[in-house]
Amino acid sequence: MVLAQVRIAGLQARGVICRFSRPRLFHEGEPAIQLQVKTILNLVQHFVGFIYTDVRLLSPTGRPSSIEITLQSHRQIRGRCSQCRQPAPGYDHLEQRRWLSVPLWGIPTYFCYPPRRVACAEHGVVVEHIPWSEGKRPVTCAMMGLLARWARRLSWRDTARAFQTSWEAVYRSVEWFVQYGLAHRQLGGVEAIGVDEIHWGHGLRADNFLTVIYQIDRNCRRLLWVGRRRSQATLRRGLKALGPEVVKGLRFVCSDMWKPYLQVIAAQAGQALHVLDRFHITSHLNQAVDEVRRAESTRLRATSKKAAQKLKHMRWPLLRRGGRVRGCARQKLNALLASKLATARAWDLKETFSHFWKYNSEFWAGGFLDYWCFRAMRSRLEPMKRVARMLRAHEPLILNWFRAKKEISNGAVEGLNNKIRVVTRRSYGFRTYKAMEIALFSPSRRLSKEGKPLSSRRSPRTANTRPRTFSY
């Protein structure tokens, strides 16, 4: 043993073995630090005026059930008024309260502390300000932050399960996070907004629609406002919430052809260029094609089974952009297009319209639009005729797209719209409108109903978009 040490020392001296200088953890002659939970707490979460006195592991059944961390107020430091945060003389103590904190080694952990009441000169006798908690919440701020962060990655229910807490606690944490974000967000520099209607829940009652306003500037895309219903009053409320400076500073507004919106936008943001964007027009066309397909499918089924086979399972290949249909679906689509079915003609009209977006000049685009409407009106397909009439009625606003083309990011509306649809369809847990609103504002990964990330198979509307997240 001694011989080996001598040999190593010799090798080190000759430079054969490098000698690393180790970081010193403690002074020589001193014992190593006995690491206690209190030490970690003081390093990570130190609150001025409060002392961690006791850390206890409770295991009534032999297995650890919870950890209780007891705090005490510092005798020399006065408590602060919860209203104005100013130091005030003490009045009395209340009963001990417990706050759920970040779990240690997976064991539920609680802060225990009997809050003082202080006699504030301005606010009278009030409960003191508790730095690790917010209001009367039974969960510490650190735990709320942890839950809210995990709620971005998992569903709220899974987050609650993983941290052995309730769905309610996760919801309240996300709500707290979102409210903080909304209260501290900057609305300067908003130049382009998108206004959209979203359907949620079951049925077509007025309450089943939402109006959403998002920012679609190139450098910043985010949800700005959500409100119930899709009336003029809703949008007016939304614009009021953004404030007059933001509305006056708008340069572009993107929206659908929904009449109440058009009227409010014209009245309140007249200076902004109003654009009917590509995403909404494409979805109108897709809807028309789908209507033709459904009607024809019903008609064919009544006469011959064989003819009806051609339209079976064709919904997504028909709605997808033509160039993106490949493989087996492509063969079926080609067979369908070779037939003399009305669906094939509707699909052809839809595909032809995609050329419209490739124009650079507003003038030539207008020419193309006239030609397309002329063809559609003679197609003997009522849904396509309806789209043509709608496009004709809104021609100037549609052509505004070419004036705004360089300024508004392509697909921003689509991306945000998809994101919102994912949340509104994810019905689990959202028992109330409020909960859904919070979920819309909270940035999250794309999740399916079960809380798993969505598979690569996407609907045509989403075909060209990456998942996007909101930022405050």
State the residues that interact with Zn ion by CB under 5 A. 81, 83-84, 120, 122-123
Single-letter residue type at 120: C
Looking at beta carbons only, is 80 or 320 nearer to Zn ion?
Answer: 80
CB 317 within 8 A of CB 339: no
Closer to Zn ion by Cβ: residue 83 or 354:
83
Contacts of 55 (CB under 8 A, 6+ apart): 36, 37, 38, 41, 67, 68, 69, 70
Distance CA 303, CA 410 (A): 44
Residue pair 341/311 in contact (Cβ under 8 Å)? The answer is yes
Residue 122 Cβ vs Zn ion, minimum distance, rounded to whole Å:
5
> 84 or 435, CB closer to Zn ion?
84
Distance between CA atoms of 72 and 80, rounded to whole angstroms? Answer: 14
C-beta closer to Zn ion: residue 129 or 350? 129
Q: Dihedral (C-alpha) 338, 342, 348, 351: value to the nearest 10 degrees?
A: -130
Burial of 9-44, coded b for 16+ CB within 10 Å and e otherwise, reads eeeeeeeeeeeeeeeeeeeeeeeeeeeeeeeebeee
Terminal C-alpha separation, the chain: 64
Name all contacts of 348-352 with Cβ < 8 Å and 24+ positions apart.
349/285, 349/375, 349/376, 349/379, 349/381, 349/384, 350/285, 350/286, 350/288, 350/289, 351/322
In the complex, minimum distance from the CB of residue 127 to Zn ion, in angstroms, rounded to a whole number? 11
Distance in Å, CB of 123 to Zn ion, minimum:
4
CB 192 within 8 A of CB 408: yes
Closer of 120 and 235 to Zn ion (Cβ)? 120
Nearer to Zn ion, 128 or 277 (CB): 128
* Closer residue to Zn ion, CB minimum distance, 124 or 138: 124
Which two structure tokens, joined as six digits, stand for 111? Answer: 């802060």
* Smallest gap from residue 120 Cβ to Zn ion (A): 3
